[in-house]
Amino acid sequence: MIRLGGILTPLVAAYIRVSTDEQAEHGISIPAQKSRLLSYCQAMDWEIFDFYVDDGYSGKNLNRPDMQRLIRDAQTKKFDTVLFVKLDRLSRKQRDTLYLLEDIFEPHGIGIKSVTESFDTTTPFGKAALGMMAVFAQLERETIVERVRLAKKESAKQGRFMGGPAPLGYDHDPAKKRLVINEEQADLVRWIYDEYLNGERGYKGIVDLLDQKGIPSPTGRKWNTVTLKFILTNPIYLGVIEHKGELHKGNHPAILDRSKWDEAQRLLAQRGVVRSAATVHGGLVSGIVYCGECGARMRYKRVWQNYPCKEPKRVIDYYVCYSQDKSTPYMTRSKECRVGYKRATEVEDAVVDALRKYSVDTDAVSKIAGELLEGNEDKEPLRTLNRLRKELTGIDKKLERWYEAFEKGAISPDDLVERIKGLREKKKSLETEIVDVEARTQKAEERAITMADIMEVLKNFPELWTQASADERRGIVSNLLNRVNVFKDGHVEVELGE
């Protein structure tokens, strides 16, 4: 507090927040809030220490620049009271509001005051009233989020573009509120698909060619493989809108026909269906090759055979067991291992030959796939998921009943806060458990999908291998195989991935 004319006057921190969506709302704008706070302080004869203004920030959390400055200043007791127009300016989440009150303001003797709401945080009832205001501020935010979600879903169903920069090939017509074709860019999109389907270039080759031609990317900067892949996988070019994994007929014209887009997706799946192999080690099977004698990993090693002669310089590539190489002690499995240096070309040729054999022996591949997927039909995660979702629905119904009881005056604010506290904690616990079970269920589903992809790639292996670049070949091998075992006698065994 400061002393004016012998009277102690509260020093006030005036907090203002407006989100992007609220800019145009009457009475919510920054000038409107500032005017009301100034008028209130003048009427109360209070002195403003500083204005804390978060322009364009949501109230869903406390990660706002001036909110963080407010917290720091409160911890050093630079003011006596925090003043705002309405509690939801401070936060729309009950948890955050109570955190500010109980962990930041109260311990430092700082009060809070709303211009439009009446509560006194120095009394138990006042605290309960504040808690209830925070509950309904949070409820309002959750309602807003749900309305936005439903609005986006409805927009997608009606085929409307979901916003953001227009994809390459289109312009946004604000008058018609729809995407229209930009013919020059649309020709570039068609060219990209044709070039990829031609099979001579992968992502990197097409990116390099676009840069060589001086064609600007959608961002105006140099092209990159991420941008190119987004174009090659974006279903918007079919004249549809994608939302949450579902496709809806769009109100914009298509740039590609369905057959070309489907063909591109098949080629994408075959050439890069799973993870890309690491290229830093150089070997075709680096990272998945093991010693068949001791079980240790094998490293890719380049040996300068006629060192220090450089004319000609003879370098031979090998795979060598870490136990024998001794370059990395913690990778050693057996100090007595003598599997020997295995020429990389011989190991890699054996791996490719094995994959070629699998490509024509579909019965063997089907049998292996069945063994790998054995037990994948476990229904327990699904039953658990259904039970948890049922419990969560029950919790939501109980919360709704308590809110209705409070609105009808059947229970006091103190009772409501006490009764919903345990329910909200239980709800949070259930939601966390559901996420975990869903992840396990999805993993099992992806495992089955991966095996289907592996079988598809194997079926087309000879053709793919001929067309693939060195990097793509590493990707194909690392995705098809789980492990390569190399034995002392030069025998090589491969294990299909899961």
- Residue-wise pLDDT for 219-231, tens only, equals 777 888 888 888 9
Distances (CA, A) of 346 to 34, 301, 398, 481: 77, 14, 68, 17
Q: Are 12 and 112 in contact (CB under 8 A)?
A: no
Nearest 5°: the CA angle 45, 51, 56 is: 140
Instruction: Check pLDDT > 60 for residue 64.
Output: yes
Task: Report residue 374's pLDDT band, with 50, 70 and 90 as the boundaries.
Answer: low
State how beta strands 11-18 and 7-9 pair. unpaired
Tell me what pLDDT residue 462 has.
82
Task: Report residue 193's pLDDT band, with 50, 70 and 90 as the boundaries.
Answer: very high
Higher pLDDT, 62 or 157: 62
Active-site hit among 19, 155, 334, 429: 19
Instruction: Check pLDDT > 60 for residue 36.
Output: yes
Q: Are 190 and 231 in contact (CB under 8 A)?
A: no
Tell me what pLDDT residue 176 has.
76
Tell me what pLDDT residue 51 has.
94
Name, in order, each residue with C-beta under 8 angstroms of 388's C-beta and a sequence gap of 6 or more.
430, 433, 434, 437
Q: Catalogue all structural domains in the chain, each as residue range(s) with its CATH number.
A: 2-152 (3.40.50.1390), 170-272 (3.90.1750.20), 273-498 (no CATH)
| Four-residue CA torsion sign, 104, 110, 115, 119 | positive
State how beta strands 481-486 and 492-496 pair. antiparallel
Task: Report residue 28's pLDDT band, with 50, 70 and 90 as the boundaries.
Answer: confident
Q: What value does the mean pLDDT take over residues 168-180?
A: 85
Instruction: Check pLDDT > 80 for residue 44.
Output: yes
Rounded-to-integer distance, Cα 458 and Cα 359, Å? 5
Task: Report residue 373's pLDDT band, with 50, 70 and 90 as the boundaries.
Answer: very low
Tell me what pLDDT residue 147 has.
62
Rounded-to-integer distance, Cα 52 and Cα 73, Å? 11
- Residue-wise pLDDT for 198-253, tens only, equals 877 778 888 888 988 888 888 777 888 888 888 998 898 998 887 777 788 888 89
Task: Report residue 314's pLDDT band, with 50, 70 and 90 as the boundaries.
Answer: confident
Instruction: Check pLDDT > 80 for residue 350.
Output: yes
Residue 47's DSSP bridge partners are 11
Cα-to-chain-centroid distance, residue 174? 30
Mean pLDDT of the chain: 78
State how beta strands 81-84 and 11-18 pair. parallel
Tell me what pLDDT residue 66 has.
95
State how beta strands 289-291 and 481-486 pair. parallel
E strand or H helix at 15, and its extent?
Answer: strand 11-18
CB-neighbour burial class of residue 335 (10 A; exposed 0-12, middle 13-18, buried 19+)? exposed
Q: What is the number of helices (H) and of strands (E) in the chain?
A: 16, 16
Q: Are 286 and 300 in contact (CB under 8 A)?
A: yes
Distances (CA, A) of 193 to 202, 260, 378, 400: 11, 8, 41, 52
Residue 493's DSSP bridge partners are 485
- Residue-wise pLDDT for 123-167, tens only, equals 555 555 555 555 555 555 555 556 666 666 666 676 677 667 788
Tell me what pLDDT residue 76 has.
92
Least confident of 227-236, 292-301, 399-408: 399-408
E strand or H helix at 16, and its extent?
Answer: strand 11-18
The region that residue 65 occupies, defined by phi over 0 for left and psi between -120 and 50 for alpha, beta otherwise, is alpha
* Packing angle of the helix pair 183-198, 203-212 (nearest 10 deg): 140
Least confident of 368-372, 396-400, 403-407: 368-372
Residue keyed to tokens 């809030």: 33
Least confident of 104-113, 378-387, 394-403: 378-387
- Residue-wise pLDDT for 283-292, tens only, equals 889 888 999 9
Higher pLDDT, 309 or 43: 43
Q: What value does the mean pLDDT take over residues 373-393?
A: 68
Higher pLDDT, 440 or 360: 360
CB-neighbour burial class of residue 131 (10 A; exposed 0-12, middle 13-18, buried 19+)? buried
Q: What value does the mean pLDDT take over residues 448-466?
A: 69
- Residue-wise pLDDT for 82-100, tens only, equals 999 988 888 877 678 777 8
Distances (CA, A) of 69 to 62, 73, 109, 443: 11, 6, 18, 43
Tell me what pLDDT residue 67 has.
94
Distances (CA, A) of 207 to 110, 126, 213, 267: 59, 64, 10, 17
- Residue-wise pLDDT for 376-385, tens only, equals 444 566 677 7
DSSP H helices, 296-379, are 322-325, 344-360, 362-372
Tell me what pLDDT residue 229 has.
86
Task: Report residue 276's pLDDT band, with 50, 70 and 90 as the boundaries.
Answer: very low
Other residues' Cβ atoms within 10 Å of the Cβ of residue 323: 23
Least confident of 57-66, 97-106, 117-126, 351-360: 117-126
Of 483, 479, 415, the closest CA to residue 270 belongs to 479
Tell me what pLDDT residue 121 has.
57
Q: Which of 143-147, 263-267, 489-493 has the highest mean pLDDT?
A: 489-493
Rounded-to-integer distance, Cα 412 and Cα 71, Å? 31
Q: Tell me, yes or no, if 217 is annotated catalytic.
A: no
Residue keyed to tokens 């070039």: 195
Tell me what pLDDT residue 358 has.
80
Q: Which of 7-16, 261-270, 344-353 has the highest mean pLDDT?
A: 344-353
Rounded-to-integer distance, Cα 17 and Cα 55, Å? 6
State how beta strands 111-114 and 47-55 pair. unpaired
DSSP H helices, 16-83, are 30-44, 65-75
